[in-house]
Structure 1
Amino acid sequence: MPEQTLTPEQTLTPEQARTPEQATTAARSRTVRFGYHGSTEVVDRIVRLAGRERADVQLVEYDIADPFRGVRAGELDVMIVKFGINEPDLVTSRVLTEDARAVVVGSGHPLAGRASVSIEELADYDAFAPPGVFPAYVWDDVVPPRTPAGRPIRRVRRVRTVPEMMRTVAAGDAVHISLVSLADLAPPGIEVVPIHDLPPAPVTLAWVRGAEEHDHVREFITTAEAEASR
């Protein structure tokens, strides 16, 4: 029996044989809808841990005043969480990385220009209350109600967005106790000064319980966890 000769189309892999439209649809089906807030620098760290490229994720910035709405509504597959959460319907990954602590101040503030500051010094200035429905127990980690020495921190300023917070800080003596990654978003007139006596924030991924049943989402999470554990 004569040997059968395969045509070029018959030698293509299933991936190669797809039309451009089919390939686009397949790529979208594996895109991880990734919720984040603030700087994308920490996002990029996690994407690298997962062995992916930025093009493999659809970045969606969530509203800090209602942080879990998007993931609960099914609009996100995973979201970045900083500090620990205790939400019965949400699951979190292992700690994947950390974000160091810092304070956001105006460039004319008495603490501006310092190499670092102590959390004890920040009790001298107005800080911010939690925005919107942001969980109060998480905010206690972000902006502690008291310093380690017992001094109360005046959490009295109220805003709903990072740009609004930046404008408030730039205009007066208020401070925002936050994270070093906010330096990526700081406009002129704002400085982000490290806090040397607060531990860094642990960074994890969170998702709705059961949502990781999608293969590409589960693979993203487990690969990032395994690489972070090395």
Structure 2
Amino acid sequence: MEIFLALAEELHFARTAERLLVSQARVSQTIKKLERRFGTALFERTSRRVALTPVGRRLRDDIGPAFLRIQEGIARATEAGRGVAGPLHVGFSGALQGDLVLSVQAALRTGNPECEVRLHEVPEGDPYGPLRSAEVDLAIVRFPVSEPDLTAGPVLISDAVMLAVPARHRLARRDAVGEGDLAGESVLPAGSLQETLARVGAGHGVHPVPSQTAVYQTRPTIAFVPYPDAPPAEFGAVWRTAADNARIRAFVAAAAALVRTEGGPAQVCGACRADAIRPAPR
């Protein structure tokens, strides 16, 4: 069935053989055996193209998901037997999250040198896409996460929220702002961080951001004002439930241990956020 499903995807005998590391004759013989078994053609073949017949499409749709689950089960069993050895691709979309991943990478290397953590920046607007496409095994994303196919770990970062306002805005020199101060203000919807900050700087509105933004994204056109009424921005690890393995669990455990040693999620890289919560100069 692996050969059938690969050919159903590639629709090319030579590419299918190359992908599966078998001969083209093996691919052709296997398909012919299946067609004799089912008593009907699964593919239409001409000198120029290969296409699935209606029966072939139905067979692909019926067995494809089940075969994928079998492959994932085999992969999980293999990972469990292998332990934590091998690469772990970790995604992040913010500077503080990246700093945390680097710290966990160093800690994990000490106890599990055979686990190789590789960092990948993921888009803020689509943090789950790289997980679902298997580009990354795990990602540090903003919570909460309510996705049925994903598992969320513990909160690793809890960051106070600030209000990003234009530098000449009436709130720019406040020590803090509250909910009442936003009356009549244009609060920009969430988007990519760079686009949102550019719009704030241009005077299009205001936007709440984690305090780390005031440290890593300073610019003369924006002031960041403490916003204590807003709940903290929380970040943690998330991964595909079906792809859970020993490396992911080792990384999450090492991250949780590191956070505990730093005094909890609100203290992770505290020095990186201390400047952010100081009042704007008068």
When normalised by structure 2's length, the TM-score is 0.54
* Aligned with residue 194 of structure 1, among 226, 237, 240: 226
Is 1:74 the counterpart of 2:134? The answer is yes
Rate the CA distance shift 1:115–1:45 in 2: closer, same or farther, 3 A.
farther
- Cα deviation, 1:31-73, whole Å, max 9, x if unaligned, reads 43222223x12332354356247xx643322222222111111
Structure 2 counterpart of 1:124: 184
Rate the CA distance shift 1:224–1:61 in 2: closer, same or farther, 3 A.
same
The one-letter code matched in structure 1 to 2:151 is V
Structure 2 counterpart of 1:32: 88
- Cα deviation, 1:117-160, whole Å, max 9, x if unaligned, reads 113312331112244xxxxxxxxxxxxxxxxxxxxxxxxxxxxx
User: What pairs up with 1:76-155 in 2 under 5 angstroms?
Assistant: 76-131=136-191
Return the alpha-carbon distance in structure 1 between the equivalents of residues 231 and 221 of structure 2: 26
Match of 1:113, SS? coil
Match of 1:128, SS? coil
- Cα deviation, 1:13-35, whole Å, max 9, x if unaligned, reads xxxxxxxxxxxxxxxx7443222
Rate the CA distance shift 1:130–1:107 in 2: closer, same or farther, 3 A.
closer
Is 1:44 the counterpart of 2:104? The answer is no
Q: Percent identity?
A: 30
- Cα deviation, 1:86-127, whole Å, max 9, x if unaligned, reads 100010111122111111111111111222211331233111
The one-letter code matched in structure 2 to 1:224 is A
Return the alpha-carbon distance in structure 1 between the equivalents of residues 88 and 138 of structure 2: 8
Name which structure has the greater RCO, CA cutoff 8 Å, separation 6+. 1
Contact 1:105–1:173 (CA under 8 A) maintained in structure 2 = no
Return the alpha-carbon distance in structure 2 between the equivalents of residues 202 and 166 of structure 1: 20
Is 1:209 the counterpart of 2:264? The answer is no
Return the alpha-carbon distance in structure 1 between the equivalents of residues 242 and 256 of structure 2: 18
Specify every segment of 5 or more residues in structure 2 that has no aligned partner in the other structure, as ranges.
Answer: 1-84, 110-115, 262-282
User: What pairs up with 1:12-27 in 2 under 5 angstroms?
Assistant: none
Match of 1:110, SS? coil
Is 1:163 the counterpart of 2:218? The answer is no
Return the alpha-carbon distance in structure 2 between the equivalents of residues 120 and 33 of structure 1: 43
Rate the CA distance shift 1:171–1:91 in 2: closer, same or farther, 3 A.
same
The one-letter code matched in structure 2 to 1:97 is I
Contact 2:166–2:221 (CA under 8 A) maintained in structure 1 = yes
Contact 1:125–1:173 (CA under 8 A) maintained in structure 2 = no
Q: Which has the higher helix share?
A: 2
Is 1:220 the counterpart of 2:275? The answer is no
Rate the CA distance shift 1:57–1:192 in 2: closer, same or farther, 3 A.
farther
* Aligned with residue 209 of structure 2, among 155, 178, 186: 178
Rate the CA distance shift 1:192–1:61 in 2: closer, same or farther, 3 A.
farther
Match of 2:91, SS? strand
Contact 2:202–2:221 (CA under 8 A) maintained in structure 1 = no
Match of 1:41, SS? helix
The one-letter code matched in structure 2 to 1:90 is L
* Aligned with residue 63 of structure 1, among 115, 123, 127: 123
Specify every segment of 5 or more residues in structure 1 that has no aligned partner in the other structure, as ranges.
Answer: 1-28, 132-160
Query: In angstroms, what is the RMSD of aligned CA positions?
Result: 2.3
When normalised by structure 1's length, the TM-score is 0.65
